[in-house]
Amino acid sequence: MIDNQFVPKSSEVSGSIAGESNTTAESRGRIYFDTLQALAEFDAEAQQEDIVISEDPRVATYQRNAQVLMKHKEYPLALNLLRQASNIDSKNPVTLGLLVVALESSQRIDEALLVSRALSKIDYGFESMCKYATTLYKLGKDQEALDKYYEALAVLTQENSLLFEVYKNMGNIFVRQGDFDGAEEYYNKAYTLNPESDILLVNLGTLEVQRNDFDKSVYCFRRAIEINADNDKAWVGLAMVHNHIGDAELAWANIERALDINPKNRTAVHLASNWGVRDQQPGRAIEALQNYLSSVEQDEDMSLVLINLFCMQGQFNEALMEIERVLLWNPSHQEVRELKRKLQGSKAA
């Protein structure tokens, strides 16, 4: 358990949820010039899928093919097949379970909730209840999710691979509710099942930050990085701790490492913006904001921070360009329009 680990001192430390990149040549897909070859290989792969439980051969075929498509992230096509299967047998638990996964992977969480609720009524078991609880969790319905996780655990009859995620998510809910003892209990249960999870270690580190136990939080973040050096959230956690103990340069090094890994880490960008103003290093903050805004569709709040930094630096042309970006998304923003008018007036003068 974490409590029994040696905790290094903060002074010894140097140094995100990591995207678990398991991309292989197979998962990237292939380009076929022979249609018959492509169909033959698809059929062969479909036959390898073995979690189908349907007496109707049409439903079984739809399920197998949908699983192959989902494996290759072809979720819209998979959803079409699963709808066909559902039209034949609307209460098949495998079809409903696959629908939940495909809808969640397509970011259609509200629809996934409806399906997972129906699944939990048809197949009242641990895995079905977990799917329902996890969908609630992803929608931010924390208390409802927690209740359903408890309900799932009550019908658990044997060890299950989903237990790790269940305990981790319950710990996250307790953190958000301010129940740090409850969070620790369930994080430790998850840690017992998988002590090598960098994601869980980041969660534990964050919990210890909120408890003001910075030595233990540093240990957790460092251990996460040992497991996965590309975990940008772990680097952000280290940055926050080093900033708290007054090591600004090390904090900057940590936050810039996080941004190198993931320029879209909003927490890292926000910290870099604040520290850039505080340390009179606006160039660092501007670079982080520009990289972030070029990689997201839009973020009005961050654009406004960048506009303020440009104005502080006297970079009025750049500020006007970013103002146009904000007004493109929000033409009715009166304060930005007023700033635009003033900047244009100062240029004309």
**Over its length of 349 residues, how does the chain's per-residue pLDDT go in tens digits?**
444 333 333 333 333 333 333 444 444 455 444 545 544 554 555 555 555 455 788 999 999 999 999 999 999 999 999 999 999 999 999 999 999 999 999 999 999 999 999 999 999 999 999 999 999 999 999 999 999 999 999 999 888 999 999 999 999 999 999 999 999 999 999 999 999 999 999 999 999 999 999 999 999 999 999 999 999 999 999 999 999 999 999 999 999 999 999 999 999 999 999 999 999 999 999 999 999 999 998 899 999 999 999 999 999 999 999 999 999 999 999 999 999 998 888 765 5
d(CA 223, CA 234): 9
d(CA 172, CA 233): 15
Task: Assign 258 to helix, strand or coil.
Answer: helix
d(CA 118, CA 191): 32
Q: Following DSSP, what letter does each residue of 205-259 receive, concatenated? A: HHHHHHTT-HHHHHHHHHHHHHH-TT-HHHHHHHHHHHHHTT-HHHHHHHHHHHH
pLDDT value at residue 297: 87
pLDDT value at residue 40: 53
Q: Is 138 exposed, middle or buried (0-12, 13-18, 19+ CB in 10 A)?
A: middle
- Global pTM reads 0.76
What is the longest distance spanned by two Cα atoms in the chain? 81
d(CA 293, CA 287): 10
Q: 50 to each of 96, 174, 242, how far by Cα in Å?
A: 16, 37, 50
* All structural domains of the chain with their residue ranges: 57-123, 142-194
Give Cβ neighbours of residue 159 (< 8 Å, ≥ 6 apart). Answer: none
pLDDT value at residue 8: 35
Task: Assign 282 to helix, strand or coil.
Answer: helix
Torsion, Cα of 118, 122, 125, 127 (10° steps): -40
CATH code of the domain occupying 57-123: 1.25.40.10
